[in-house]
Amino acid sequence: MTDEPTREGFSLKRWSQRKHAVARETPKPAAPATPSPVAPASPAVPAAATTANAAEAALPPVESLTFDTDFTAFMKPDVDPSLRRDALKKLFSDPRFNVMDGLDTYIDDYTKFEPLDAETARSLVSARYIFDPPKTRVNKQGVVEDVPPEEVAEAEAQAAAEAEAAAALPAPEEGDAPAPAPAVEAEPVRLEQRDDAIDSKS
């Protein structure tokens, strides 16, 4: 034998009875009483709005603000944003805020410039081939190359020596005939070639 109590099986009728019993035991809410007519009261002014109005009233007029005025009072959260913007506009209208600091790239007038002097222009790398082009030559591969500086100096020294030698020669007088040109030996005509030419014509 066991001491455990026997459990009753599920019954739909029993469940319905218990549900109705609980509904009968639940008290019904009382009907609300009809409120008596009361005259509408004037809306109460929030305390925050009163504080904000008092704070704005203590601020100086925007027209009287200068660069040296303390703008801390206008930055408080209870100040009207439009009043804060007006104060900032008044502050930044000071001429000291309209001076360029030189860091802006496009503040200069690039239509007015000072031309470079000749000495500075010649010192530019890009002006090397304009004012002092290097001597060039074509090598065996057919490529244009710069002449080495030592060869250029040697050629200039030789040209200067030839110019000095020509200047040292006596100048011809007015009555002197010009020096005859050197005779050029004519190439002898080969008879065998002429004979061949005559034979070909005949």
User: What residue spans define the domains of the chain?
Assistant: 47-98, 136-165
Predicted local confidence at residue 49, as pLDDT = 55
CB 130 within 8 A of CB 140: no
Q: What are phi and psi of 175, to 5 degrees?
A: -85, -15
Measured between alpha carbons, how far is 49 from 77 in angstroms, rounded to an integer? 12
What does each C-alpha distance from 121 to 82, 115, 118 come to in angstroms? 58, 9, 5
Predicted local confidence at residue 7, as pLDDT = 59
pTM (two decimals): 0.29
Going residue by residue through the chain, which has 202 residues, state the pLDDT in tens, using 9 for 90 and above.
555 555 566 678 888 888 888 888 876 666 565 655 555 555 555 555 566 566 677 788 999 898 898 888 898 888 899 999 999 999 999 988 887 777 777 777 778 888 888 888 878 877 877 877 878 889 889 998 888 888 888 888 999 988 888 888 776 666 555 566 555 555 554 545 445 544 555 5
Radius of gyration of the chain (CA): 59
Predicted local confidence at residue 126, as pLDDT = 78
How far is Cα of residue 57 from the mean position of the Cα atoms in its chain?
47
Predicted local confidence at residue 82, as pLDDT = 92
Q: Which amino acid is at 188?
A: P
- Strand partners for 136: 146
Whole-number average pLDDT of the chain: 75
Predicted local confidence at residue 191, as pLDDT = 47
